[in-house]
Structure 1
Amino acid sequence: MSDLEELTQALARNLKRWRGERGFTLDGLAARAGVSRGMIIQIEQARTNPSVGTTVKLADALGVSITTLLDHDRTPQVRVVLPGQGVRMWSSPAGSAASMLLGDDRRGPVEMWIYRLEPGDGTASDPHPAGTFEMLHVTEGELTLDVDGERYAVPAGGAVSFEANLPHAYRNDGPGPMEMTMAVSIPPVRPAGPPGV
């Protein structure tokens, strides 16, 4: 089985499991995530490989990290991710990329990412649930961060934190590559109560 097939199977299994644990119907999760019911069915049946945006929306709606949705071999105590073993979640034709390094849900979802943006490249993110917090550390180049239309320049060695429940985007307007490490803290989601509650 290829890595992509393994991830598709893990996502199908984990999405169904977490939807059940949270007590969400297909329609309930679809409404909460802003993803069609049909797309959720296709994902749970391992018939499609959703975009990063769709996966993020589902993870946010379930209150789990993307790593949890994609994890096929959960380890209990210590998890070492060697160079190159992160899960590539996004890439552009210019060579930019984002990889999920780690994620954990024990105290509310927390994720760690590494981004590389080539000159002139960037990516945008939909708003996350209220209470989501991002921390970025730029290790090379300069990041141009846009949060709800306001731009911030963060040079190499600098860091920034912000509430991520607003539209935000990451760009590299510099002449060389930009690299950063990002940590995302997502508030826990409460399970759905009985109907009518």
Structure 2
Amino acid sequence: VSDRATDQLYAMFNSEDGLGYLADRRGVPRQVLDTLRHFGLSSVCNVLASISTAKELGFGPDDAIITVATDGAAMYPSEYSKISARDFGGGFTNLDAAQVWGEHLANVTTAHTLELTERDRSRIFNLGYYTWVEQQGTPFELFEGRRHQSFWTGLRHYLPVWDEMIADFNARVAAG
């Protein structure tokens, strides 16, 4: 998924003209629009990747792909103005929304979608070595353990603890 697609859709989801275009010209329900404006850049990317995957697999209206909204728009308060200035002359209009729709949603491509072999998946996993081991200091054995599904399923018992930590953090932030 290109940065251009992600950035421009993020701008569309965070502008009144963009949301208006989606509602008036594309019939997107208000409830969906209210959700889209909360999607951060990675979340938008995940949605585009899911659409591409659905197209690649030949999915139709009775099929579903589940993805994760990994970040919120609140993490990027200055990005809208940067994207708007760089790509849309400082503002985002109804015409911009139509162009973004046509380029990035009406024509989602599968050109860069890959069906990975085990070797491909391993190569992609190995890309994390530098970030986790070299930069973050994660012990190699722990990093290597992440290669196996049992590592991830083993984390499930931490979910209640993490939920409690998130609730505590949110309460502290809300308190100011």
**Structure 1 length as normaliser, TM-score?**
0.24
**Structure 2 length as normaliser, TM-score?**
0.26
Q: Which has the larger radius of gyration?
A: 2
Greater RCO, CA 8 A, separation 6+: 2
